[in-house]
Structures are given as structure tokens and as C-alpha cells.
Amino acid sequence: MAAELRHSTCNRDCPDACGLLAEVEDGQIRSLRGQPDHPVTRGFLCFRTSRFPEFVRSTPRVTQPLLRKGGELVPVTMAEALDVAAERLLAIRAESGPAAIFHYRSGGSLGLLKAMADRLFERFGPCATKVGDICSGAGEAAQIEDFGISDSNDLDDLRNARHVLIWGKNPFVSNVHLVPVLKEARAAGAALVAIDPISHKGTAFADRHHQPRPGGDLALALGVGAALLRREHAFDPLDLAACSGFDDWSRLVTTRSVEAWAELAGVPAGVVVDLADRLADGPTAILVGWGMQRRRHGGAIVRALDALSAVTGNLFRSGGGCSFYFARRRGFDAGALVEGRTPPRVIREPLLGEDVLAASDPPIRAMWITAGNPVCMLPGAAKVAEAIERTEFVVVVDPLLTDTARRADLVLPVPTLLEDDDLVAAYGHHFVGESRPLVDPPEGVLQEVALLQQLAERLGIGDHLAGSIDEWKERLLAPMAKHGVDLARLRERRVVHKPEARPVLFADRRVDTPDGKVQLLGSVDETCFAPEPVERDGLWLFSNSSIEAQASQWSGRAPEILPVTVHPDAAPAGLGDGDPVEIVAEAGSLPGVLRLDASQRPDVALVPKGGGYDRGTCANVLIPARATDLGLGAAYLDCRVELRAR
């Protein structure tokens, strides 16, 4: 049989939401690449997804439900699995109420229909649910406070920039389809400036790289404000009229001199002045990375960048903007799936282990975990593992047998991204695509929507989830259908620009706050500038994304021992590249293998973000569970470690 070409959209937790193009023969994927005519994908995929078919073939998949019997997870039929799930959930609700059931959904698939699980648990309870967002909580909350929305100019608009400040971001690893746009911006004359304590491929690619102290960005951004005032920058009255709180912001940035701010930020004063000059010589785009908002004062950092973009008018211009996120769910009918009924209890995502263990009257007796591997990916991993192990009935819905699934009482299989049927919008651009099975899921594995529908029937709420997948897609697309983008059109075009997305977000100098003005950061807590965490010194632990992995899912070979990269001066005496070390933090310790890199700051240690908990390569064993200042994000990066000989 000749190979057939099939299209889909990648549903991974990634800004790019690529168009996929597969050659399929005899129900097998022969090749997988990016759709050449997708405006962002441009025909190429990242390392981790281009190797995904190989990875799925070589990794133990969950292809049948697994139920814990006599201590072991044993295969059972889907009917038995769903009967058991329904029976236990109904019994626990009857005995202890819906607050005893905690539904946790992470971003393992960005398919919009994955929120059907939220619908089920809202209808069945409402049950306990998570609050906060360990991924982008602080930054989004900051932008919503300042602008009323966290969205961006169209991705293409970057080509109109004169300067691009790539502030705490590594596009070569975690946002690869931004790279061609940055290259085009540079070809059109833009200067690219990277601001990142770590040196990596993205910083080497930039025209300039500044390496501030970890978390020094707040001082740096305030210093840039001070430099703008000192050089008597001609603020445009129309820009200032679009902002609220300019006097307070001015007072804040002038509480220290440019030199004093620079010292706190750990950069020469010339760097601060240079950044001020670039913002004055706009259009200057600020690309706000996700890394630095995963610090205790991460919200304040993003607010300080928002203010710089606004007072210099760059926020309101083509080629400017302060881009943290593209409002992924905007433009769909959000209410089609979730009504927003108040849950009886909330569990803070960054403090999940602690909150689940502390819950009483009723305790958390059941957990439904979907599209996430919290044992590995949440901070304070040991406590998360303990909370899950202690919970009476834990269901994990995942195509893979993860660290979390191994601790479940019931594991339910679902399709992988190659078999998925859903709608996908991106957080790195304004296009929407549809995921369609490139190949069939293994026999008996249901689409997650169908699995939830069968469970809902057993729970007596079947009517609320009824409908075909296409009908649910139509419901979500209803607001776009008014602009001609219905399911038929999306299917025919494969990728569409969201009709309501604004090419230049705030071109009319009105933001989405209640008074239409940018709310400028007017004060910060002095403790933000103390070298923190104060209780411990040592190296700042960075756990950045790696090319080979999507969080805890490794498409390349997962490390058997955690590689830890440091400047040669930070290595324990007498140890060199390849030597074994112990990485010691307050929360725990892990074996590592030393990698030396003279381009790093001597006060940092770098490990990959997603290892394996049971394999002993999970950075989150070292990282304390702490929330950010805004948005209940997780302060993953405020962690200090020491290296010792092993």
C-alpha cells in the first residue's frame, strides 16, 4: 500500500503548536515533519517531536488500564477499570462529600477538549481543584494587573523591531519556531540582546549577551527606568496619558542611582544605560521569558518590564510590545466546557504536596490526575510523592507509565499526540489548528473525551458530557464561526489566524484594564533585593528545558545521572569534568556528574528541568515548594545548592 500523507497539530505544552505532516503506511508512521505551508512551523519540527514516533515505539506505553490488585498494577479491561473508578468516586462523594475528591490537570496536552475532565469534576461536585499555575502564573498575573490581559502582537510583527530584548528565554530549546522570526528581524536590521544569567545557544546567537545575577532583573529593570529619567528621555505625553502611576514609578526607580541598581543587578552600569538607550531608540520589543518569573519576586520582575515597555511607548507600537504569552484560549467559547462554579476547596499547585497532606475534614481521599506528572515536575517532589502515596484512591490518566502513574491505584491509557483528536491553539502565536489521529490508538484505547463520557454515564451525569468530538469542537469554535472560522473551514485550511487577535495588541494606546490605562509598578518590597534565599548561600540551581525532553518525557536518552554544569571556579576542589558529585540542597540531595563550562557565572549550577523521580535524576527533589509573589506560580529557581565530592 502506498504511503498516505496526513496532517495534524502538535498538542504538546510548547508555545509553537506546530502543524504536523506524516507519511503513514500500514497504520505506521514512516516519517514525521512540519507542515511546509504552516506560517509558523515552516516545515520543521523540534528534536523531541521529530523523534516522538521512535520514542513511542521504544518506551513502555500504557495500552490497557492497570488496576492495583494485591499491591501490583495489573491489566484489566476498560469496562472493569471504569466500573471501579465510578464505584469508588461515588462512594467517596457519598461518605465525605466532593471536597474529598481532588481533580488535577496539567498541560501534558494543550488540546482544548482536555478541559472535558474539568467539566466532569465540576458537574460531579464541584470537586476540589487546583489554584495557581506553576508554569506561567506569576507572569500572567503581572500582565493582567498591568494590561488587563496577557497577549502579544502577532509574531510576525517582530520583524518591525529595531531592537529585540530577549529577556530570560532560550528559543533554541523551548520556542524553536521563534528562531526564524528572530533571524528575519535581524536581517531587517534589528539588534538582538539576550539577558540571561546562563549562557546557552540562544545567548550565543544574540548580538549582545548580558549575564545579570539570578533574579537581578528587577534591579536591572528599575535601573533602566532610572537611566531613562537621568538622560531626560523625552517621554511622549500620549504614552504617559495611557499609563496610570507615572509619578510613583518615577519615585520608585529613583530610590537608587543607576550605578547602585547596576551593582544590585550584577552588571556594569554601562549595560543599564545601553538598555535604556535601546528602549528610547524604538521600536523595541521585549520578549519576556518564562524562567525568571519562576522566582519568589517573579511577578514584580515582569511588572517592572511591563512598565519599561509602556513608559517608552514601545508597548503601543508595531515592532514593540512586551510579549510574555499569547492568549491561547481567547477567541473560543470558554463557557462551553466549564461553567466556573466555585469549588468547595482549592489546592495551591506550587504547594500541592503540603496542601493535600494538610487537608482535613474531609481529607483528600481521591485524586484524579490527568496530563501531568506531578511527582516529577512539581517542586518539593518528595512531599508530592508522599501525598499521592497516602491518598486512598488515585487515578492517573496518561499514555505513559510515569513516576506518578507508578504510584496510582488505577492507570487509564489515552492516545499520544500522534493519535489525538482535538483543537489546539498556541501560547507562542495566534494560529489555531486541529489535531487528528495520524494513526489509530492501540486497540481499546479511547480518546480522552470518550473515556470521560463513559465514566460520566456511570456517575449519572452522562447527559452533561454527551456529544461527538466534532460537536464539541463546533461548540468551542462558535465565536470564531461568526467570523467564518467554523470546523469545516479549519479542516480545509488546516491552520487559521484567530479572527479577533489584534496584530498590534495596544495600537490605540488603550489596554484592557478597567480604566483602560497601564497600571505602572509603583512600589516593591525591599526584601526583593536581599540576596535570597537568605537562609542559605551556595550556587543558584537552574533547571532549564533541554532539547531532548518535554518536561519529564525524554525523546532522546534520559540521563542516568544528573549532569550538573558549573563554571570551573565553582567545582569542588580537585574535581574536573566528568567527575561524580553530590548535589546537596536543604530539601534533599542527588548524585550528579560534573560538567565544566567557563562561560557560566561562578554562582550558578545548571541541571535539566525534567529528570526521573524513581531514577534519582529529578531536580525537584532539591527544590523547595514555594509560591511566587503573584499568581501562585512556583519559585523553582530560588534554590541554592552545594556540590560535594561523591
Ligand X SMILES: Nc1nc2c(c(=O)[nH]1)N[C@H]1C(S)=C(S)[C@@H](COP(=O)(O)OP(=O)(O)OC[C@H]3O[C@@H](n4cnc5c(=O)[nH]c(N)nc54)[C@H](O)[C@@H]3O)O[C@H]1N2
Give alpha helix (H) positions in 148-257: 171-174, 179-187, 201-205, 217-230, 237-241, 246-253
Give the integer Cα–Cα distance in Å for 436 and 8: 5
Q: How far is the CB of 203 from ligand SF4 (least distance, A)?
A: 20
Strands of the 163-167 sheet, one edge to the other:
208-210, 191-195, 163-167, 284-288, 322-323
Q: Mapping DSSP to helix (H, G, I), strand (E, B) and coil, where does residue 167 land?
A: strand
Q: How far is the CB of 467 from ligand X (least distance, A)?
A: 19
Give alpha helix (H) positions in 359-513: 374-377, 381-390, 448-459, 462-465, 469-481, 487-493
Amino acid at residue number 148: G
Binding site for ligand X (CB under 6 A): 13-14, 48, 106-109, 134-135, 167-170, 173-174, 195-198, 200, 214-215, 217, 289-292, 295, 370-374, 376-377, 397-400, 402, 414, 420, 448, 542-545, 547, 549-553, 609-610, 619-620, 623, 636-637
- Per CB under 5 A, contacts with Mo ion among 537-576 are none
223 or 633: CB nearest Mo ion: 633
Place of cell 520556542: 175
* Residue 176 touching ligand SF4 (CB under 6 A): yes
Q: How far is the CB of 615 from ligand X (least distance, A)?
A: 13
According to CB under 5 A, which one of 14, 135, 504, 539 is a site residue for Mo ion?
135
* Residue 378 touching Mo ion (CB under 5 A): no
Residue 571 binding target from ligand SF4, ligand X, Mo ion, none, CB below 5 to 8 Å by type? none
Q: Mapping DSSP to helix (H, G, I), strand (E, B) and coil, where does residue 306 land?
A: helix
DSSP for 583-615, please give it. EE-SS-EEEEEEEE-TTS-TTEEEEES---TTT
78 to 117: interface string for Mo ion, x by CB under 5 A: ----------------------------------------
Q: How far is the CB of 167 from ligand X (least distance, A)?
A: 6
Q: How far is the CB of 34 from ligand SF4 (least distance, A)?
A: 7
513 or 589: CB nearest ligand X: 589
* Residue 12 touching ligand SF4 (CB under 6 A): yes
List phi, psi (to 5°) of 356: -65, -45
Residue 496 binding target from ligand SF4, ligand X, Mo ion, none, CB below 5 to 8 Å by type? none
Give the integer Cα–Cα distance in Å for 85 and 367: 11
Q: Give the closest residue to 295 by CA, choosing from 454, 528, 483.
A: 528
Residue 167 binding target from ligand SF4, ligand X, Mo ion, none, CB below 5 to 8 Å by type? ligand X
Give the integer Cα–Cα distance in Å for 298 and 594: 29
Residue 565 binding target from Mo ion, ligand X, ligand SF4, none, CB below 5 to 8 Å by type? none
Give the integer Cα–Cα distance in Å for 101 and 365: 6
317 or 328: CB nearest ligand X: 328
CB 267 within 8 A of CB 220: yes
Residue 370 binding target from ligand X, ligand SF4, Mo ion, none, CB below 5 to 8 Å by type? ligand X
Residue 232 Rama label (left phi>0; alpha psi -120 to 50; beta): left
Of the candidate spans 15-23, 202-210, 336-344, 483-491, the one that interacts with ligand SF4 by CB under 6 A turns out to be: 15-23
The two beta strands, 366-370 and 346-348, are unpaired
176 or 632: CB nearest ligand SF4: 176
Residue 196 binding target from Mo ion, ligand X, ligand SF4, none, CB below 5 to 8 Å by type? ligand X
312 or 550: CB nearest ligand X: 550
Q: How far is the CB of 462 from ligand SF4 (least distance, A)?
A: 34
Q: How far is the CB of 415 from ligand X (least distance, A)?
A: 6
Angle 258-265/217-230 helices, nearest 10 degrees? 160
Helix (H) / strand (E) element for 632: namely none
19 or 245: CB nearest ligand X: 19
Q: How far is the CB of 10 from ligand SF4 (least distance, A)?
A: 3
Q: Give the closest residue to 634 by CA, choosing from 107, 102, 138, 103.
A: 138
Cell of 388: 499521592
Q: How far is the CB of 323 from Mo ion (least distance, A)?
A: 16
Of the candidate spans 14-22, 70-78, 249-257, 278-286, the one that interacts with ligand SF4 by CB under 6 A turns out to be: 14-22
According to CB under 6 A, which one of 7, 10, 351, 352 is a site residue for ligand SF4?
10
Residue 49 binding target from ligand SF4, Mo ion, ligand X, none, CB below 5 to 8 Å by type? ligand SF4
Q: How far is the CB of 562 from ligand SF4 (least distance, A)?
A: 23
CB 271 within 8 A of CB 600: no
Q: How far is the CB of 359 from ligand SF4 (least distance, A)?
A: 35
Q: How far is the CB of 16 from ligand SF4 (least distance, A)?
A: 4
Residue 632 Rama label (left phi>0; alpha psi -120 to 50; beta): left
* Residue 429 touching ligand SF4 (CB under 6 A): no
Give the integer Cα–Cα distance in Å for 321 and 507: 10
CA dihedral 438, 439, 442, 444 (to 10 degrees): 70
CB 562 within 8 A of CB 595: no
Where b means 16+ CB within 10 Å and e means fewer, 82-118 reads: bebbbebbeebbeebbbbbbbbbbbbbbbbbbbbbbb
Q: How far is the CB of 18 from ligand SF4 (least distance, A)?
A: 3
Residue 18 binding target from ligand X, ligand SF4, Mo ion, none, CB below 5 to 8 Å by type? ligand SF4
14 or 92: CB nearest ligand SF4: 14
582 burial class (0-12, 13-18, 19+ CB within 10 angstroms)? middle
Q: Give the closest residue to 90 by CA, choosing from 120, 118, 124, 123.
A: 124
Q: How far is the CB of 37 from ligand SF4 (least distance, A)?
A: 15
402 or 519: CB nearest ligand X: 402
228 or 400: CB nearest ligand X: 400
291 or 441: CB nearest Mo ion: 291
Q: Give the closest residue to 407 by CA, choosing from 59, 63, 73.
A: 73
Residue 448 binding target from ligand SF4, ligand X, Mo ion, none, CB below 5 to 8 Å by type? ligand X
Residue 543 binding target from ligand X, Mo ion, ligand SF4, none, CB below 5 to 8 Å by type? ligand X
16 to 55: interface string for ligand SF4, x by CB under 6 A: xxx--------------------------xx-xx------
CA dihedral 334, 339, 343, 348 (to 10 degrees): 0
Q: Mapping DSSP to helix (H, G, I), strand (E, B) and coil, where does residue 628 land?
A: coil
* Site residues for ligand SF4 per CB under 6 A: 10, 12, 14, 16-18, 45-46, 48-49, 176
* Site residues for Mo ion per CB under 5 A: 135
